[in-house]
Amino acid sequence: MATVKLQDLSKREAKLAYLLLVPSIIILILIAFYPLGSVFYASTTNREFASPRPTEYVGLQNYAKLLGVTVQELPPLEDEATGAIMRDEQGNIVFADAFDVLPRSRQGVRYRNLTEFTLFGTKYVLGATEPAFLRAIGDTIQFTVISVLLETVLGLLIALVLHSHFKGRGALRAVMLIPWAVPTAVSSRMWEWMFASSRVGFFNVIGQQLGLTDGQFPFLTDSGSQIWIMIIIDVWKTTPFMALLLLAGLQMIPTSIYEAARVDGASTIRRFFSMTLPMLKPTMAVALVFRTLDALRVFDLFQIVFGRSRFSMASFSYYQLISNRAMGYSSAASVIIFVIILLFILLYMKVLGGTSHE
């Protein structure tokens, strides 16, 4: 009799769980899947933002334009009179202009020069129908990988220092959080002034006094230094966040194991690699996930410092929506961003799954 009652009770609990699950699923569909589905649908149309123009279905044309690439060989120019290959004043071969070589896509959009490279002595041009978006993808991924790596290493070093016992540790912890507490708009403008391409900029003044520059180095307009400037600004601001998370993980490690290791004669370095680092891996993995996903969605930093001169993936999508009013095109860019972030999530899940399994 008691067994029957227990079975009836478990069935009632299961029915109650299902009843509670249904509204949760409905809410999830309304607040997550419906907006996401709307973006997916809009990406297959030519819809314009705040426009009376009728919307038409265009299929995958937006994606084809965003991701369309071609590789063409750049032939050397020949002298019409002699037929000899033309060379410049330094003796280098003169190649045809990329604009004359690159064709049009199937949608009638001309490929534009993304980059040029030489392979086995032959020069090629990589053309793209939307080079700005492909550069934004490359810049964002480069920014993410380097900044997250530096923030993790520096954050771990700071957390180890703050975890030790010394006078003034509480005050140092409070000071450490100041960069993270500063709004991104404020810190971006501050660093923009410091990297100004004239003697107004802090680093140009210092560089001139040390004899490293003439005081006019174009930090913010030089393509080779732009991404590194973004990385420096982000590392300065976000390293305290990583340090705070890792410090919390360090404080969860019991001190008794360190005392036992000291008794056994283990050195500081050995204790770090054999005990601290393995036990800190779960916290470090969570910090890496949060920081990586946040870096892939970076918008305000690029938008404030560079505007339209250089995009992140998010700022490119924003520019297409607000400035060009190309809602369908912007939606396609957003879907691609979503797929890239999803790939990073799956990669982290695989790595974290392997770690937890061990």
pLDDT digits (tens, 9 = 90+) for 132-189: 999 999 999 999 999 999 999 999 999 988 887 777 777 877 888 888 888 888 999 9
In the numeric block, the tokens 């750049």 are attached to 74
* Tokens found for residue 277: 């680092």
Q: Where are the domains of the chain?
A: 69-129, 132-324
Return the pLDDT at 84. 81
CB 151 within 8 A of CB 239: yes
Span 333-338, mean pLDDT?
A: 94
Q: Which helix (H) or strand (E) holds 48?
A: none
- Residue 333: which of 62, 24, 52, 30 has the closest Cα? 62
- Residue 175: which of 233, 243, 248 has the closest Cα? 243
- Low-confidence winner among 171-180, 186-195, 218-227 (lowest mean pLDDT): 171-180
Please tell me which residue, 283 or 355, carries the higher pLDDT value. Answer: 283
pLDDT digits (tens, 9 = 90+) for 55-105: 899 999 999 999 999 999 998 888 777 778 888 778 788 888 888 889 888
Return the pLDDT at 85. 84
* Tokens found for residue 322: 């607000």
Strand partners, 91: none
d(CA 10, CA 14): 6
In this predicted structure, the answer to whether residue 3 has a pLDDT above a threshold of 60 is no
Q: Which residues of 111-141 are buried (b: 16+ CB within 10 A; e: fewer)?
A: beebeeeeeeeebbbbbbbbbbbbbbbebbe
User: If one looks up domain 132-324 in CATH, what number appears?
Assistant: 1.10.3720.10
Return the pLDDT at 232. 94
d(CA 155, CA 235): 10
In this predicted structure, the answer to whether residue 122 has a pLDDT above a threshold of 90 is no
